Structure 1
């Protein structure tokens, strides 16, 4: 092929950008720490999508969604501190939403863009709600994946039973079996999908493999009495950007009546329910990804 032919090919072909792994330095009341994140798509793209994971998960949960949307966005998937490749905190009492929100504001400043779209699963959705409720925030479209402003004490107790209590696994097969058991509400995933969710959720350790999150992220669950539902309606009502709520039809964390109320007040979220799934839809298959894509790109 001649040089001119190759040049023409380079100019007409759509560029393909590999995943990039980066870190940003953040601060807490007790010192500095690094938050890791993966980034997909054109690093020069001013359209940015931030995807934030659930309590014991990490940013690699969004690999499939990120690949599917990298043609439209620079997709940024952080590991919230204490998870994935991010640092573990020395002062375990710092694990909580005030720090998580502050870290995300630091990340948004690093990205150097005026606005972002946001997809948050469970904890990641709560962080998104908190940021989106603030005056002058940069979130212009918000997807809340199986989380809302009312969280039942029963679901919190269920989560508290396994957070920080994972055993050491003798091999990856044992790790997959454990994750399939505790994460059964994710729904009927394929073996390959369970393998992906396990691959980035564990790390080698003495005697086999352990979970890649700090067990002490469970400290708030152990020190805070679990006696009442969590009520964040005032936060939700302050959100002004277009919002979508995705609910697992069998979810015990986001009740159906809560989702319906979210559709009628505050930002009046668009509601999509995923049959056969509890907490939470993992956005791994084409159907679930399509719901997110259609909402985020509705006005583009």
Structure 2
């Protein structure tokens, strides 16, 4: 069964709490799994349970403003450098070689950590994120993030998630319900909204239009890296993924019939990740 944990970290002159869900034996080789922009730690339950069964210690944090982690007092702090500050406190507790699985924003944070001198990361999985995000995809994200949505109940939220996250790929009814239950925050009147701070959208409003160029960060990453791409993804296009795969130590796997981003719940996807992480053990 998963364990719920918290730590305090210092950011912009104040202490905040970062929450994470932990699986597996505490003495196991650690894996940190970091979710996407509007998602949360419980997206990784299936993957974490499988890795824990193999003896791995799996830590799945809620990024600031999501899930059980504190909302930040200044919306302009909702940027990757702030997330990396929070995640660095978690890495400091582990104090040793760590594997990283990051979906979308979680992968971007992983690239930033991997690019640092003396990084504690050993192997890196980038789930549908790469060295460049096309302008059209960045604009699509900016258009929907931060919309304040209210639903009468969890099934209504689930119906919404099935629509907006259809690119995750074919999920079972139980998997969609799992995502909905862990995406729900109950309001005082009993209605349901999404389990993240809508103000995570604020930095997008002031961001320049155009593609997001992450090449400078990617150029500093020298870890064995698995790049997973949904064949229909608009975030990680085919050209960018192919260019990344020309580097020694980088493996690219494209999953047909999936967009942004593979849910990593399917047994074949779980086996793909676990096999890569186990390759050097």
TM bracket, shorter-chain basis: over 0.9
Task: Report if aligned partners of 1:30, 1:91 keep a CA contact under 8 Å in 2.
Answer: no
Match status 1:275 vs 2:268? no
RMSD across aligned positions (CA): 1.1
Match of 1:15 in 2: none
Cα distance in 2 between the residues matched to 1:101 and 1:39: 19
1:294 to 248, 263, 275: 275
Cα distance in 1 between the residues matched to 2:151 and 2:18: 26
Query: In the TM superposition, what is the alpha-carbon distance from 1:251 to its structure 2 partner?
Result: 0.2
Match of 1:171 in 2: 153
Match status 1:79 vs 2:62? yes
Query: In the TM superposition, what is the alpha-carbon distance from 1:72 to its structure 2 partner?
Result: 2.7
Task: Report if aligned partners of 1:162, 1:182 keep a CA contact under 8 Å in 2.
Answer: no
Cα distance in 2 between the residues matched to 1:77 and 1:31: 23
SS of alignment partner, residue 51 of structure 1? strand
Match status 1:91 vs 2:47? no
Match status 1:122 vs 2:104? yes
* Structure ID, larger Rg: 1
Query: In the TM superposition, what is the alpha-carbon distance from 1:268 to its structure 2 partner?
Result: 4.4
1:221 to 187, 204, 216: 204
Query: In the TM superposition, what is the alpha-carbon distance from 1:30 to its structure 2 partner?
Result: 3.7
List gaps (5 residues or longer) in structure 1.
Answer: 1-17
Match of 2:180 in 1: 198
Match of 1:139 in 2: 121
TM-score (norm 2): 0.97
Cα distance in 1 between the residues matched to 2:149 and 2:81: 29
SS of alignment partner, residue 258 of structure 1? helix
2:38 to 34, 37, 56: 56
Number of aligned residue pairs: give it: 279
Cα distance in 2 between the residues matched to 1:166 and 1:72: 40
Cα distance in 2 between the residues matched to 1:172 and 1:34: 26
Match of 2:10 in 1: 27
Return 232-241 or 276-285, whichever deviates more.
232-241
Match status 1:109 vs 2:66? no
Cα distance in 1 between the residues matched to 2:200 and 2:149: 16
Cα distance in 2 between the residues matched to 1:298 and 1:72: 15
Query: In the TM superposition, what is the alpha-carbon distance from 1:284 to its structure 2 partner?
Result: 0.4
Cα-to-partner distance string for 1:150-180 (whole Å, 9 max, x where unaligned)? 0011111111222111421001111001111
Match status 1:284 vs 2:265? yes
Task: Report if aligned partners of 1:58, 1:79 keep a CA contact under 8 Å in 2.
Answer: yes
Cα-to-partner distance string for 1:258-285 (whole Å, 9 max, x where unaligned)? 11000113x5410111111000001001
Cα distance in 2 between the residues matched to 1:150 and 1:208: 38
Runs of 4+ that moved beyond 6 A: none
Cα distance in 1 between the residues matched to 2:174 and 2:255: 20
Query: In the TM superposition, what is the alpha-carbon distance from 1:126 to its structure 2 partner?
Result: 0.1
